[in-house]
Structure 1
Amino acid sequence: MFAGIDEVDWASMEHAYGPADDVPALLRGLASADPAERERALDGMYGAVHHQGDVYPCTLACIPFLFELVADPSVPDRGDIVELLTSIGGIDLGEDDEAELDEEEAEGAANYAMAAAAVSANAGVFFALLADEDPGVRLSAPLALAALHDDPARVLALLRARLAAERADEVRFALVEAAGRLALRHRPLAGPVADWLSRLAAESHPPGLRLAALAQLARCAPHALPGDVASVVTALLRQLRAFPGPGGARARTAEPLGPGAEAAPVTLLGQLRARSAGESAVRTAPWTADLLRTLHAGLDDRVAERAALLADQLRSPDPWQRIDAVRMTGGLMGGWRGSHTELVRLVGEQLAAPEPKLAEAASHVLEDLFALAAPAADALAARVAADPGAWVREWADGRPELGSAVKALARLGDARALPALAAALDHPGVPYDVGPAIGFLGEAARPLTGALRRRLADVVLDEHAYDRARPLLTGLTALRAGEAAPEVLRVLRDAGEFRGEWLRTAALRALASFGPAARCAVPELRALVRHPGTVEATEAAGALWAVEGEAGAVLPALIEGLASESVYARRAAAGVLGRLGERAAVTAPRLRALLRHEELWLRVDAAVALWEVSGRAAECVPVLLAAWEQNRHVRVRVAECLARMRPVGAGSEAARVLLAELTSVRRHNATDGVHGSHDTYTDEKLLALCRRALLGNTGKEPT
């Protein structure tokens, strides 16, 4: 084994972290008898040689040696190596991708192509592995064949034949999954695969296999799913809860929901695998979660059916199935619009569950829902009141943050979060997310003003001042707490150099929110305005306008801001000019010139400001609608302006765009099932703005 490995000039090649002269040791480590050494080697292969899916020349040089390892039955954990080869050879760039590559990306694409060719040329090795004695190898081989072999019809025939002989449940599901992958990659096989999967989904087969077949049907042939797929899957889940399958056991709900007491793995990859194995060890039919995730992905926009499935899961007596359901419910609501009231209520019920992981998962989902979490408000309040120790959590590096249940309750604007926020302000380190939480509470958080002022007055203005002061400034800004002007002015005057511009900008925004109550800051604001062309000068002009209301005192600085080399300064200037309205009409030509700027966000800000200073919608709306189509993330900004312009003309292009948004079931900012912590909030805000813009025209809510 490894003949010729020392003849490869590894030192002349590089991986993600430098010279590749350590690769031979990694390859040999994969064959070690020591599990810890194998783990380190595999972690090194993924972490450096195949870093985040990249393929380097040294990755290509590894391929022959990886196949040697796979073919040797004495090598432990060969299934891991099969998965590594599948990943290295399985990247498929489409023609559209290749057409947009720059020189560096083209070199990477060439490496991907060579890797795919090299692994596919040897993929016949995987046929023998379908019947290997090692179940881990049998688990990995089907997907390797489906992803890499160039004779898909032969692969499908062997998958079907192997299913009849295979007895391990998870390997059988892998065979079915591989068939679905074949149908997706080779569309002529979609019909035969769908027919086979439909037969497997019939009642004569075990429930786990039927569920696996339905999941793959949803992926590759959703039209072939039974019309009552939700009720069929619900019935299968109930069967699995009682009898998970051959060799299975009844639900083990009395066992702890955590990993075993084995020695800690030595790498991050090992820790993740150990955590997964620990969860699987105490689960009933642990593969059910993966099958259901696949099914949900295939059902896509069939939101009502997906919600019905999740509602049943959330009522399961098995806490692990409820944990899975909570997580998938978060994915559904984060990516798709709909009436989610019942699901939210059921997620809220999990907050009272005795299993900590279940309650924690529920609070994390509710945290991201903002106003949509209202059906769970009482459950959140009860959770917060019952667990003061979770009001503030700390990251591993010691940074504090609000607990999920506290954040979720505050984001509802529920005053029952006040005691927790007050406690957070008494914490030695103020959590970074206290300020935004206060913002959602609004006037209900007014009693916290004194604590915010005291903490801000105590902030040492050193290199860490921004992290300490920002949450406090955010809270005072949200409350428009003008009585805090002296404390904010101290920050503005004495902020240091490190992140000083960020800190002064936050202070200036706070002063602007105070309006005339910040009159004590006028001398400092005027001094900053006399140095135009920066974000600080523009923010100071906005604050000075809010305090004094004299357009003549700030227009020169804002005009200079529009001409700044900094796009951020230009955008800030456009925003302040919009607040001045017709008093800034003299800047209309300059704003009009920015409508053709290459930076999309600046074009949008300029169009909004131009409408606000001139009232001429005709030249602004086309720019806004073009940006709407070019970048979905700009839609809230555009909709805010259209809502202020209302009524939107019936039959206009703007009305068409707004109605199309309102009738889409997909959230505008969700991508491939991935969503950010504020995406649901932002999308719901967009929908409200679209309705408001159209409501001015019709007099009633659009349908």
Structure 2
Amino acid sequence: MFSGIDEVDWASMEHAYGPADDVPHLLRGLASDDPAEREAALDGMYGAVHHQGDVYACTLACIPFLFELVVDPGVRDRGGVVELLTSIGGFDLDEDDEAEIDEDEIEGAANYAMAAAAVTAGAEVFVGLISDEDPGVRLAAPLALATLHRHPVRVLALLRERLPVEPDEEVRLALVEAAGRVALRHRPLAERVGQWLGRLADRADSPGLRLAALAQLARCSPDGLPGDVVPVVSGLLREMRAATGGGTDPGRDGADGAATGPERTAMNARAVGAEPSGPAPADAEAAGTTAVDTGAPDSTSTDTTPAGTDALDLTKDTGTVGTGALDSTTDTGAAGTEPGGAHRAEQTAAPTLLGQLRALFAEENAGHATPWAADLLRTLHVGLDDRVADRTALLADQLRSPDRHQRIDAVRMSGGLIRAWRGSYEELVALVGEQVADPEPRLADAASHVLEELFSLAAPAADALAARLAADPGSWVKTWAAGPPGLGSPVKALARLGDPRVLPALAAALELPQVPHDVGAAIVHLGEAARPLAGALRHRLAEVALDEEAYDRASPLLAGLAGLRAGEAAPEVLRVLRGAPEYRGEWLRTAALRALGSFGPAAREAVPELRTLLRSPVAAARTEAAEALWAVSGDAETVLPVLSEGLRADQAHDRRTAAAALGALGPRAEAVAPRLRALLAHGELWLRVDAAIALWRVTGRSGEATEALLADWERSRHVRVRVAECLAGTGPVPEGSAAAHVLRSELASVRRHNAMDGGYGSHDIHEDEKLLALCRTALRGPGKGTTK
């Protein structure tokens, strides 16, 4: 093994952490008899040689030696090596990607292409591995075939032939996933795949396999899903619980007409083997092969399988089914799974990332008989896409399950659904709220975290959150090994509802030696309901030492006082403003000036200090002081020259501050309209938006400003809330206008405007719901009826 490995000039290559001269050691480690050494080697391959999916010259040089490992039956944990090869060779560059490659990325793109070519050239190896004695290898081989083999119809035939004889349930699911992956990658095969999946969903011998078929049907051919998909899936989940001894709840698990047990059992060969409806017409068969088979001719290819019998699909486009996900809020990959899946050989503890992931996975799924079920359900949800009502009903059923693992999964998936799609979620949120009292900490914490992100949508769970706070003061504040403490999820969720029942928790937080960093934001949402906390905020602010930690300690207090508009705190705020240290002093100054501005005329004693700051050598300080001075004194004559000059500041952020402040002056600042108008052509998106809004407000004319704002609305979803605020403040917009069309189009969309694949922000739901409310207000005008 490894013939020629020492002849490779590894030292001349690099990986993520420097010279690649350690790569031979890693490769030999993959063949070690010591499981800890194998794990460390695989960890090193992912961490350095294939770091975050990158392909280096040394990655390419490894490919022949990795193939040597996967075909040697004496090597343990070969499934992990198969997965590594699949990842190295499975990166696709489509035409859009190629068009966006710049000069600095050419080498990397070439490496991806060479890796794909090299692994694809050796992909015939994976054909034999589909029946390997090692179940971990069999678990990894199907996705490798689906991703890398040149002849997809032949791959589908192999997968179909293996399914009736495969003894391992997780591998069977991987076979389904792989076939579905082929169908997704090669769309001419999708119809035949859908027909096969439909039969499999109806006749397979296990509820898990039927659920897998439904999940892939949703991905590959959603029109083929049964009309009663929700009760069908709910029945399958009950069957799975019964089959694994998970128990049932007679009050929830009544008969729904779905056959169970022996009535649904059929012979494997009948269920998955085929019952083909006859060969496909020649032209259809050609469409399924000619358009797909782009590789070199293969004399052994069997691309002539009967229609409707050669495809399946399962959970995701990446990852291995049946090994679960550490973070079940995501829809991509099987993050947190150990390479080789649940069938890896025994492992000893090793200080590696893979070892940590394995331990977390084991802890997450302790006592869970079917951890792969969550992956199947996530895949089903991805396939159902914008069918929000069906997805909501399915999750509601899961949240009523007697199985805590199913409820944990459902809570997390509920968060993902609400985060991405608009809909009616009152019942679902109430059911999530019921989980916050569960004695299982993972379930209660998951529910609290989801509710924390819902803001006003969490209202149906308000009583449950309040009960949790009353029963568990330990949930009020979270502490960390480093950094300031933070409010617990139940506290933030209730505060974001503006519910005064959270006040005892916030009052206790203000008594801690270090105030939680997010207490100010919580108070802002409560508004006047938090007025009883003003005294504690002033007291704690007066105690803040004006040293290098001043900003961290004072900023949450200043935010809280600003939210309350507590003008009586002006002396404490002025102390901070005058004594701000050099370290983060500009941040502290900004927070203090913002608080003084929020106090309005109640902070009149700050006027001399603010006038002094107008002469600061720092542009940002001058602009922020002018903004605060206008709010406190209304002295337009003094602040206008400063703000006008601020429009010429070097930093776009300072210009934005000046533009916003000028807009607040309204017609008093009309003299600066030409400067604001000139900024409508600026290259910085947010500066253009702020300038357009200010121009509208100082001139009272909407024409040119509206045109600019609507153009940027289309360019970037991120500015939509800001634009809608402006339109709502001056509405109603004329019926039939371009603005009305844009607003109604937004209201008609089911997808949240800020939904992202693979990521999200903690305020995304709040921002989108705010956008919807602003759109309705802009259409009807402030204080009028409702607008759908």
Task: Name the residue aligned to 2:23.
Answer: 23
Which residue is 2:237 aligned to?
A: 237
Q: Does 1:100 align with 2:110?
A: no
**Can you list the C-alpha shifts for 1:433-463, whole angstroms capped at 9, x where unaligned?**
1110000111111111111112112222222
* Distance (whole Å) between structure 2 residues aligned to residue 573 and residue 221 of structure 1: 54
- 1:200-222 Cα distance to aligned partner (Å, 9 max, x none): 11145321111000101111111
**Structure 1 position 702, deviation (Å):** 2.4
> Residue 576 of structure 1 corresponds to which residue in structure 2?
661
Letter in 1 for 2:109: A
TM-score, reference length from structure 1: 0.96
Partner in structure 2 of residue 587 of structure 1: 672
Alpha-carbon shift at residue 320 of structure 1 (Å)? 0.5
CA 1:128/1:636 → structure 2, altered by over 3 Å: closer, same or farther?
Answer: same
C-alpha offsets along residues 82-101 of structure 1, whole Å, 9 cap, x if unaligned? 11111111111111111111
The whole-number CA distance in structure 2 between the counterparts of 1:638 and 1:106 is 39
Deviation at 1:533?
A: 6.5
Superposition pairs for residues 336-355 of structure 1, below 5 Å?
Answer: 336-355=421-440
Residue 616 of structure 2: aligned partner: 531
Which residue of structure 2 lines up, in the alignment, with residue 78 of structure 1? 78
C-alpha deviation, 1:399, in angstroms: 3.0
Which residue of 699, 718, 727 corresponds with 1:614?
699
* SS of residue matched to 1:473: helix
Structure 2 counterpart of 1:371: 456
For 1:10, the equivalent position in structure 2 comes to: 10
Letter of the aligned partner of 1:137 in structure 2? V
CA-to-aligned-CA distance 1:211-240 (integer Å, 9 cap, x gap): 000101111111111111111111111111
The separation in 2 between residues aligned to 1:414 and 1:35, in whole angstroms, is: 54
Alignment counterpart, residue 597 of structure 1, candidates 650, 668, 682: 682
Provide the C-alpha distance between the structure 1 equivalents of 2:228 and 2:129, rounded to a whole number of angstroms: 38
Alignment of 1:534-545 (within 5 A): 534-545=619-630
| Residue 155 of structure 2: aligned partner | 155
Q: CA deviation at 1:298?
A: 0.7
- 2 CA distance for matches of 1:359 and 1:699? 40
Letter in 1 for 2:30: L
Of 556, 566, 578, which aligns to 1:471?
Answer: 556
- Conservation of the 8 A alpha-carbon contact between 2:527 and 2:563: yes
Q: Say whether the 8 Å CA contact 1:265–1:274 is kept in structure 2.
A: no
Does residue 692 (structure 1) correspond to residue 777 (structure 2)? The answer is yes
SS across alignment from 2:704: coil
Answering whether residue 404 of structure 2 is matched by residue 319 of structure 1, we say yes
What percent of counterpart residues are identical? 72
Q: Which residue of 2 aligns with 1:556?
A: 641
The structure whose RCO (Cα within 8 Å, separation 6+) is larger is 2
The residue type paired with residue 400 of structure 1 is P
The residue number in structure 1 matching 2:375 is: 290
Q: Secondary structure at the match of 2:486?
A: strand
Alignment partner of 2:581: what SS?
Answer: coil
1:531-582: CA deviation from partner (whole Å, max 9, x where unpaired): 3662222111101111110111111111111011100000000010011111
C-alpha distance in 1, partners of 2:688/2:168?
59
Following TM superposition, by how much is the alpha carbon of 1:105 offset from its aligned partner in structure 2, in angstroms?
2.0
Q: Deviations over 1:501-554 (max 9, x none)?
A: 111111110111111222222222112212366222211110111111011111
Instruction: Name the SS of the counterpart of 1:201 in structure 2.
Output: helix
Measure the CA separation in 2 of the matches of 1:634 and 1:532.
Answer: 31
Deviations 1:170-222, CA, capped at 9 Å, x for gaps: 11111001111101111111112111111111145321111000101111111
> Partner residue of 1:522?
607
Which piece of structure 1 moves more, 324-333 or 76-85? 76-85
Quote the residue 1:133 is aligned against: 133
Contact 2:732/2:781 (8 A) holds in 1: yes
Unaligned runs of 5+ in 1: none
Determine the structure 2 residue equivalent to 1:88: 88
Deviates more, 1:519-528 or 1:405-414: 519-528
Query: Would the alpha carbon gap of residues 229 and 380 (structure 1) be closer, same or farther in structure 2, given more than 3 Å must change?
Result: same
SS of match in other structure, 1:619:
helix
CA distance in 1, matches of 2:687, 2:699: 18
Report runs of 4+ in structure 1 exceeding 3 Å deviation.
Answer: 249-253, 262-265, 278-281, 697-700
| Greater helix fraction, Structure 1 or Structure 2 | 1
TM-score by length of 2: 0.86
Aligned mates of 2:576, 2:14 — CA distance in 1: 48
Note if contact 1:252-1:283 (Cα within 8 Å) is conserved in structure 2. no
Paired residues for 1:219-298 under 5 Å: 219-244=219-244, 249-251=245-247, 265-298=350-383
Contact 1:532 1:561 in 2 (8 A): no
Deviations 1:115-173 (A, max 9, x none): 11111111111111101111111111101110111111110110100111111111111
Task: Give the whole-Å Cα distance in 1 for the aligned partners of 2:507 and 2:69.
Answer: 60
CA contact (8 A) 2:35 2:348 kept: no
| 2:414 alignment partner AA | T
Residue by residue over 1:20-58, the C-alpha shift from the partner in whole angstroms, topping out at 9 and shown as x without a partner, is: 222222222222222222222222222222111111112
Cα distance in 1 for partners of 2:24, 2:219 equals: 40
Residues 109 and 380 of structure 1: CA distance in aligned 2, closer, same or farther (over 3 Å): same
User: Greater shift after overlay, 149-158 or 533-542?
Assistant: 533-542
What is the CA–CA distance in structure 2 between the aligned matches of 1:33 and 1:278, rounded to whole Å? 27
Contact between 1:647 and 1:696, CA under 8 Å: does it hold in 2? yes
For 1:355 and 1:471, how far apart are their aligned partners in 2? 32
Report the secondary structure of 1:93's partner residue.
Answer: coil
The whole-number CA distance in structure 2 between the counterparts of 1:322 and 1:568 is 45
Q: Are 1:86 and 1:147, in contact at CA under 8 Å, matched by a contact in 2?
A: yes
- Shift in Å, 1:655: 0.6
Q: Equivalents in 2 of 1:389, 1:264: separation in Å?
A: 33
CA contact (8 A) 2:246 2:403 kept: no
